[in-house]
Structure 1
């Protein structure tokens, strides 16, 4: 009897042990299954949406358009996409740091083609160079991108559509035909097929993006046949991480004592390429008007720094730079105006640090990244009451919006001279404004969603 009881007890214990073992085994199976599901959700889905993106840009130099495409590339790279650049021109002595520091692969194709002949036919050769680059990408290169992001010149779009399966994103900074004058019959005749080609090829892109509501309205008014094409507004943004890093090192950004006369207390800064369309003479004329308002002693305390992209291979840069110097001489303000060509990032930060305000003179500018940079670095902006600045600057809060009149600009400058504390007050408001409305994170998310929508 005792022996039978012991056998039953052992069987019961074994059964309980077996049940515990089976229960633990089932729990482990469920945990493993859950872990696999989590991995698939967060990793495999990422791999499925990760795409290969090539940026096709006419000239990877220094300017607002170039800043936009570099920031767009950084944004997509931060989302895990594989990003590279293809361009007809890339001068490592005249470009943004991110395009030469190993961040991206940059391939140059077509730079052997001239930019112009006798200073003419710039548009025709820009189209030709981009078409050659597109042919290289689709017929010769081993790269097989899922998406091609192109901007400024749309003539490459049909080549990309015919010879590749890539989806095409075209970013319209502003219609090219609106950036030139037609002062003669021959110029009108020359531009007619180019303008037609721009409109037709722009409409062939899978997605068209613009930089502001202002540009969207100009796009609709200019390209009548593209009235049904939806334009996605993607505001340019700042890589705020870079600027935050710069602010942390702000103390190190200093100008040599010889940069400005020792009597200078108030510096106004203009940052723009040395091109006629940037309306830079307005800043010099405003200085002349300011001279007429101030006493001699106060005039000696004011200075204008004009910094901008300068490429000695671009005839307009060379010519207009000299025109601006001559104008300063003619208006007798040359002692109060300094010029800086293609400044480094450190020098740019030092100039911003020294400035009471930034002058932004382009009229009907399609967007303008400079005001965002200035406001984020806590510098108020004086700009024209037109175009993009209407969407980026809050008048009398983060700066002043003026009509295109040098006397009105001078009056706005005078406010910073009379009230030195105004620069700090408006600068703080400007920084907060950019942070709320033009963050790099918002830009990144919007662009990544656009890319995902076409795949």
Structure 2
């Protein structure tokens, strides 16, 4: 059997298996809508909330989920987190120091098969986690469920009969993949259909920016026609944690007296477009370049091929442009290390294109750091042009002009930095985020209580 024929047979089987999975999911969707909700909680009983997230590692989505859980816990609710993966040496402190109660189910299931089928494996793992939550529901269960990233598990969670389900959509999953072949499109079709149908099963849908809300409407036309419109809830910044980390910030050994620092904070992934920061450095006037360092900091997992490959690609790019001696890679930095970088940097270079939101610019603004970012996506909502930073197209020369201006003018950096701190405090605080989410939880629980009283 030829390799092509073998691949065709394999894809055919995968296609059939996916469809076999789709049918019961659709039945679960119907059953989930027909089942009555759990009876109202008794007087004085706290609202029990379960967060369901695929992988509690280190990233923007994970930071949001952890902050949301802590915020609701601070409002007096009982909060527990459920995930398929949680490694104590690669997670946020709140998930390992006892602040949050974390349950791990399904870690034995594969994350990929032969380097492929990431989505199908993620769906399988989340369904397994949801089945375990369903089993727990027979012994009491939860009043409100909060799910993000993967909606395929909502039909199963509906069977647990919660008072309400909140789904936080960071970005439609099917837009995060390329459909480069007919077979890939056949494989993705049922998954994409299930994503749209199951997303609509949430009682409240939030997205992380107005940009994502627009993408949501385009990606899910059926939900849009049904009038299912998500609300915008910006990811929060825990100002107390930021202040605590800043108080522990230290010196940077690689930064010599008289040198200035440019900072990029992103995971080592190609979609983060970090090469733009290196090209910007190469375009700086020689007198500024000679005394400037660029730090590429961010999440890095040596088990992920893309992380390893892209780190090497960035090193190669720096060498090819003759700036390697001015570029420093810092992988999987701690909160204290990040605070040290933010304290000593002259500007943040935020390079992702069409980023859904991006919490890093907000962190930088709170640290009084001007931001230069691509003029698309979430940064258009977080950064104010000429007030907290600069928004520019992906042109290294245009970026270098902004950076040179900041490197030369201390007063300009100070003015933009102070404005950024005010904006971060007023618009993106954890308190503001928690208040909105708490109100949503109370409303879902209250609506159920009202219905229960009417039925009595």
Question: Is this contact kept in 1: 2:250–2:340, CA < 8 A?
Answer: yes
In the TM superposition, residue 441 of structure 1 has moved relative to its aligned partner by 1.8
SS of corresponding position for 2:283: helix
Q: Deviations over 1:361-404 (max 9, x none)?
A: 11111111111111011111111111111111011110111112
Which structure 2 residues correspond to residues 301-316 of structure 1 after superposition, within 5 A?
301-316=291-306
- Contact residue 252 and residue 340 of structure 2 kept, 8 A: no
Q: How far off its partner does 1:112 sit?
A: 0.6
Residue 409 (structure 1) aligned with residue 399 (structure 2): yes
Give the equivalent residue in structure 2 for 1:96.
Answer: 92
Residues 119 and 315 in structure 1, CA contact (< 8 A), matched pair in contact too: no
Which shifted more, 71-80 or 277-286? 277-286
Q: CA deviation at 1:167?
A: 1.9
Question: 1:118: how far off?
Answer: 2.1
**Alpha-carbon displacement from aligned partner over 1:32-52 (angstroms, at most 9, x marks no partner):** xxxxxxxxxxxxx99657311
Give the drift of 1:185: 2.1
Change (3 A) 1:215 1:59: same
Q: Aligned pair count?
A: 402
Structure 1: runs of 5+ lacking an equivalent = 1-44
Query: Offset of 1:81 from its aligned partner?
Result: 0.2
**TM-fit CA distance, 1:229:** 0.7
Give 1:166 shift: 4.7
8 Å contact 1:263–1:301 — kept in the other structure? no
TM-score of the superposed pair, with normalisation by structure 2: 0.85
Deviation at 1:163, TM superposition (A): 3.8
- Alignment-derived partner of residue 148 in structure 1: 145
Q: How does 1:257-336 map to 2 (within 5 A)?
A: 257=253, 259-260=254-255, 262=256, 265-290=259-284, 293-295=285-287, 298-336=288-326
Q: Which moved more, 1:335-344 or 1:407-416?
A: 407-416
The residue that corresponds to 1:157 in the other structure is 154
SS of aligned partner of 2:353: coil
Listed as ranges, the matches of 1:107-122 within 5 Å are 107-122=103-118
Q: Deviations over 1:69-113 (max 9, x none)?
A: 111011101110001111000111111111111101111111111
Contact 1:382–1:409 at 8 Å: present in 2 too? yes
The answer to whether the aligner puts 1:170 opposite 2:167 as a matched pair is: yes
Higher relative contact order (CA 8 A, sep 6+): 2
- Judge conservation of contact 1:148–1:169 (CA < 8 Å) in 2: yes
Larger Rg: 1
Of 393, 414, 439, which aligns to 2:429? 439
Q: CA RMSD in A?
A: 1.7
Decide which of 376, 380, 405 is 1:386's aligned counterpart: 376
Distance 1:447 1:165, change over 3 A: closer
Distance 2:304 2:349 in 1: 24
Identify the match of residue 350 of structure 2 among 360, 364, 367.
360
Choose the corresponding residue for 1:375, options 353, 359, 365.
Answer: 365
CA-to-aligned-CA distance 1:135-166 (integer Å, 9 cap, x gap): 01112575611111110011111110124435
2-structure distance, mates of 1:70, 1:238 = 11
Distance 1:440 1:284, change over 3 A: same
Mind listing any 5+ residue stretches in structure 2 that lack a counterpart?
1-40, 446-456
Shift of 1:263: 5.6
Q: Is the Cα contact below 8 Å between 2:282 and 2:289 reproduced in 1?
A: no
Deviation at 1:418, TM superposition (A): 1.7
Contact 1:255–1:347 at 8 Å: present in 2 too?
Answer: no
Q: Tell me what 1:81 maps to.
A: 77
Q: How does 1:123-142 map to 2 (within 5 A)?
A: 123-140=119-136, 142=139
| Distance of 2:250 and 2:383 partners within structure 1 | 27
Residue 332 and residue 439 in structure 1: after superposition, are their counterparts in 2 closer, same or farther (change >3 A)? same
Which 4+ residue blocks in structure 1 deviate beyond 6 angstroms?
Answer: none
Three-state SS of the structure 2 residue aligned to 1:454 is helix
Residue 214 of structure 1 corresponds to 211
* Corresponding residue for residue 29 of structure 1: none
Deviations 1:282-302 (A, max 9, x none): 111111222xx323xx32201
After superposition, the Cα gap between the structure-2 partners of 1:230 and 1:333, relative to the gap in structure 1 and judged at 3 Å, is same
Give the corresponding residue for 1:62.
58
Q: Does 1:246 align with 2:245?
A: yes
Q: Is the 8 A contact 1:263 1:300 kept in 2?
A: no
1:198 aligns with 2:195: yes
Q: Secondary structure at the match of 2:295?
A: strand
State the alpha-carbon separation in 2 of the partners of residues 236 and 256 from structure 1: 29
Q: Distance in 2 between matches of 1:282 and 1:276?
A: 11
- Asked if structure 1 preserves the Cα contact closer than 8 Å seen for 2:168 and 2:205, the reply is yes
In structure 2, distance between residues paired with 1:148 and 1:334: 48
Report the equivalent of 2:4: none
